[in-house]
Structure 1
């Protein structure tokens, strides 16, 4: 290949932006803050704080199942979850997430976050959370959460 052609191809390849590039900056931080507030509310047993992070019509799903059985998609009741969060319980519900990937396009954000869940100081389970957020007039709100749950093979 001619040296100029090689140089041109190299420059072209370097200029192409990856389709799924993570955005950084204030929008990414605002998305992360919404999720952080959700879990802060859960840790505090503050269902009002958790509710403020949710979009109208938000949906929660979990992927679970019994050992030896095929996985099952479970829909969780938002109101049931909020009631459980706000009902006093002996141990703090502490879900520790890491923001592995935050993707944003206009008013839609997708977050991929490995987590570990603790009841007080005792490890309970782990998995991945996948969040879909929408930017409404009040800011970023969680529209959908789906997660995996397991007790072994955590990160």
Structure 2
């Protein structure tokens, strides 16, 4: 269980440092990111996030640290599959931006646990 948590933690540590190479090392080949959300007045939808776009954004210098603070609510493991359910709060520097839940699906490959899928919810209120 600790090695699964370490992979997720390494993902966010890399994001905080603006180190896209460190973030990429946590990802399985073909990893997929999804977000569930909506714009005001629009229905909730499923958005597919571009992995390369995300990595480019992480590695591009920005004024504020991207600080996603997760808690490990549940970690489930069966053989080479792990699922992590994690409430989070996201801060730009010290300023609260949004919150929600992350759901990670990880696979255990020859080089260790890698993130295959991330899906999250995003909101500004009712955090926990």
| TM-score for the superposition, normalised by structure 2 | 0.98
Task: Find the aligned partners of 1:54 and 1:92 in 2 and give their Cα distance.
Answer: 21
Larger relative contact order, structure 1 or 2 (CA cutoff 8 Å, min sep 6): 2
Whether 2:12 is the aligned partner of 1:43: answer no
Task: Find the aligned partners of 1:67 and 1:45 in 2 and give their Cα distance.
Answer: 30
Cα displacement (A) at 1:104: 0.2
Q: Which runs of 5+ in 2 are unaligned?
A: none
Task: Find the aligned partners of 2:41 and 2:76 in 1 and give their Cα distance.
Answer: 34
Q: How many residue pairs were aligned? A: 127
SS of residue matched to 1:66: coil
Q: Which runs of 5+ in 1 are unaligned?
A: 1-28
Q: 1:87-135: per-residue Cα shift (whole Å, max 9, x none)?
A: 0000000000000000000000000000000000000000000000000
Cα displacement (A) at 1:66: 1.4
Task: Find the aligned partners of 1:77 and 1:67 in 2 and give their Cα distance.
Answer: 23
Task: Find the aligned partners of 1:66 and 1:113 in 2 and give their Cα distance.
Answer: 23
Task: Find the aligned partners of 2:40 and 2:66 in 1 and give their Cα distance.
Answer: 24
Tell me which of 128, 133, 149 is aligned to 2:106: 133
Cα displacement (A) at 1:67: 2.3
Larger Rg: 1
Task: Find the aligned partners of 1:69 and 1:92 in 2 and give their Cα distance.
Answer: 30
Q: Which has the higher helix share?
A: 1
Cα displacement (A) at 1:54: 0.0
Cα displacement (A) at 1:50: 0.1
Q: Which has the higher strand share?
A: 2
SS of residue matched to 1:103: strand
